Amino acid sequence: MFDSHVHSNFSPDSKASMKEVLDKSIEKGLQSICFTDHYDLDYDGKNNDLTFDIQAYFKKIDSLRDQYQDRIEVRAGIELGLQPHLGQRYYTLFKDLPFDFILASVHSVDREDFFQGNFFDTRNQQQAYEDYFTELKQSITTYDHFQALGHTDVIKRYGGYAKPLPYTFYREILREILRLLIEKGKGIELNTSGLRYGLEAFHPSTEILRDYFELGGEILTLGSDSHQSTGTGAYFPEALKLLKSLGFTSYSSFKNQQPIFHRID
Ligand SMILES: [Zn+2]
Ligand SMILES: [Zn+2]
């Protein structure tokens, strides 16, 4: 199996070395790991960036790729924190770099981040969802240099509400986002970390995956969003079973920013 969303200690919120991640992933029988460490510019409106040394990153991945070539395939990806005003900067930074996979995720809206910022202080639940999906749509309308959208409905995870809003509240805009992605030849990911965070579903939820299938979406990467060496491939058998039950016959991973389709047996 191919895990396309894995963090290492190049991300500030992970302590796992790439080597530990690879060793554990081999034990689990994974065929390929794509490291996608965080790169979030201007995420909190206080001139803070969450970045890493790109040159050191490629150097490390290249050496591990050689070292592990007979045991597991190592790919170089990145998880961008997308906001509408950052597209041009990301394009300039990354257009010539040999990433296998660029995963675009939204972690902040209007320079207020969900995790520790005050995004939820000034919005009720409905407003929070509305602002998140509106900005997400704007970001992917104006930015092209990525292959898949990360954890589409991640807003459900944050804000401390008792329950997520029902899908009917945001289905219309979400379907517009899915249509736009399909038109542009981009995919979404099935991110299995929702279960780890205590939600009852993956990101995105089953009803969104169903809509994606119905709209003709074919590119779907599988990612654990693991931040620990032991977390790769988590819930993949369950995820594949779900995809199969919805009608998907394959999932995808990316190499040189081109999709590879893996049959679901
Ligand atoms: Zn993320
Ligand atoms: Zn992530």
Q: What are the domain boundaries of the chain?
A: 2-263
Return the CATH number of the domain spanning residue range 2-263: 3.20.20.140
Q: What's the gap in Å between 132 CA and the centre of ligand 1?
A: 14
Digit-coded pLDDT (tens) for 46-93: 988 999 999 999 999 999 999 999 999 999 999 999 999 999 999 999
What is the CB-side half-sphere exposure of residue 8 using CA atoms within 13 A? 24
| Exposed / middle / buried, residue 34 (Cβ in 10 Å: 0-12, 13-18, 19+) | buried
What predicted TM-score, i.e. pTM, was given to this entire model?
Answer: 0.97
Digit-coded pLDDT (tens) for 82-102: 999 999 999 999 999 999 999
- Of the ligands numbered here, which is closest to the C-alpha atom of 104? 1
Q: Which two tokens stand for residue 129?
A: 């969802």
Q: What's the gap in Å between 29 CA and the centre of ligand 1?
A: 25
Q: What's the gap in Å between 36 CA and the centre of ligand 2?
A: 7
The series of mean pLDDT values per 10 residues for the chain, 265 residues long, is 98 96 98 98 90 97 98 98 96 97 96 86 94 97 97 91 93 98 98 78 95 98 96 96 97 98 96
- Of the ligands numbered here, which is closest to the C-alpha atom of 6? 2
Q: What's the gap in Å between 106 CA and the centre of ligand 1?
A: 7
